[in-house]
Structure 1
Amino acid sequence: MKHLFAILLTSWITMGSCSADNNSNKAEQGDKRTADQAVSLISKDQFLKQVWNYEQSPNEWKFLGEKPAIIDFYADWCGPCKIAGPILEDVAREYKGKIVVYKIDTQKERELAGVFGISSIPAFLYIPLEGKPMMTAGIGRTKDQTRQMFIDNIESHLLKTKQ
């Protein structure tokens, strides 16, 4: 009986350590995959440097980017966010060089979500080079409608030419 208990305990400890190694590998793979994507995950510090420093100019929108941008406010647990993410990734590849696309995890960056009053996700902030940004929330009924929503907003709000 003692031998059986020792074997079971050893097996349990071994399985636990293998599971921990597997999880760290998944995290490393996720980091590599993010680096290759057309959409960049940004933190508050990066946002303040690359998009808008609301701490220095809280009452005036001053876009710091060199290209129009989209910010995807999302959460990992959000079903519609999981649908929108890959679609936005594809659209970002199509418009590469013309726009920049960022993602902000609302669970980790609560202050940024609060600055924009995010109460429903997914939410998308479209930032033209000049003028005020435009916020939208939700996705289309289908993947094609969601894709078209992104394209329409990019063309009409981000890449429009002055008439």
Structure 2
Amino acid sequence: MKKLVFILAVAVISLQSCNASQAKNKSSEKAEAPTESVSAKASDEGGSVKLTKEKFLSEVWDYQNSPQEWKFKGDKPALIDFYADWCGPCKIASPILEEISKEYAGKITVYKIDTQVERELAGVFGISGIPAFLYIPKDGKPVMTSGIARSKEDTKQMFKDNIDKILLTSN
């Protein structure tokens, strides 16, 4: 009986979300330097683009000048990955999104926002759990989703289905 209780306790602990372990990992936070890649080049050739607040304001949405109205500044649909380096599911999603960014190169732009570095951007969208994904169609309102699927293959299919349904249906 004690063995069963121990196994159940381990299972419950391992199923906790990234947010539960966030406090434990704050001491190991590292701020990465922003990448120097040009967004237009990255989106045409594939590869995700790391966003800073300044880059977000100029390329995605200037929420400081139009806080009540969504005005997308991009020239093609976009997907934003809100992540943290300490988050297990984020680490699974990251290479899948790199593949997706190459497969959909020229059609969408894939951005990444490190929620530990760009806390204000995470706050603007009310990010309380990660990974979170913001799908931004060229026209219309963005759609937020969170979490990944049970397997890498299912997660990749989830991204493709959402991109096709949310971002590319009206284009």
| The two structures share one fold, judged by TM-score above 0.5 | yes
- CA drift at 1:155: 0.2
**Given the alignment of the two structures, is residue 47 of structure 1 paired with residue 56 of structure 2, yes or no?**
yes
- CA drift at 1:126: 0.1
The normalised TM-score by structure 2 is 0.74
**Given the alignment of the two structures, is residue 104 of structure 1 paired with residue 113 of structure 2, yes or no?**
yes
**What residue is the counterpart of 2:164 in the other structure?**
155
**What residue is the counterpart of 1:73 in the other structure?**
82
Kindly provide the amino acid, as one letter, of the partner of residue 115 in structure 1.
V
**What residue is the counterpart of 1:113 in the other structure?**
122
- CA drift at 1:52: 0.2
Kindly provide the amino acid, as one letter, of the partner of residue 114 in structure 2.
D
**What residue is the counterpart of 1:5 in the other structure?**
none
| Unmatched tracts of structure 2, length 5 or more | 1-31
**Given the alignment of the two structures, is residue 133 of structure 1 paired with residue 142 of structure 2, yes or no?**
yes
Kindly provide the amino acid, as one letter, of the partner of residue 111 in structure 1.
E
**What residue is the counterpart of 1:124 in the other structure?**
133
Contact 2:80–2:111 (8 Å) recurs in 1: yes
State the Cα deviation string for residues 54-113 of structure 1 (Å, max 9, x = none): 000000000000000000000000000000000011011000000000000000000000
| Unmatched tracts of structure 1, length 5 or more | 1-26
SS of the residue 2:129 aligns to: coil
The normalised TM-score by structure 1 is 0.77
**What residue is the counterpart of 1:56 in the other structure?**
65
**What residue is the counterpart of 2:154 in the other structure?**
145
State the Cα deviation string for residues 11-35 of structure 1 (Å, max 9, x = none): xxxxxxxxxxxxxxxx89x9689x8
In the alignment, the residues of structure 1 paired with residue 150 and residue 94 of structure 2 have an alpha-carbon distance, to the nearest angstrom, of 15
State the Cα deviation string for residues 97-149 of structure 1 (Å, max 9, x = none): 00000000000000000000000000000000010000000000000110001
Kindly provide the amino acid, as one letter, of the partner of residue 86 in structure 1.
P
**What residue is the counterpart of 1:9 in the other structure?**
none
In the alignment, the residues of structure 2 paired with residue 68 and residue 31 of structure 1 have an alpha-carbon distance, to the nearest angstrom, of 21
SS of the residue 1:67 aligns to: coil
Q: Which has the higher helix share?
A: 1
Q: Identity rate of aligned residues, in percent?
A: 63
- Please say which structure displays the higher CA radius of gyration: 1
In the alignment, the residues of structure 2 paired with residue 31 and residue 133 of structure 1 have an alpha-carbon distance, to the nearest angstrom, of 25
Structure 1 runs (4+) deviating above 6 angstroms are none
In the alignment, the residues of structure 2 paired with residue 161 and residue 57 of structure 1 have an alpha-carbon distance, to the nearest angstrom, of 25
- C-alpha RMSD over aligned residues: 2.2
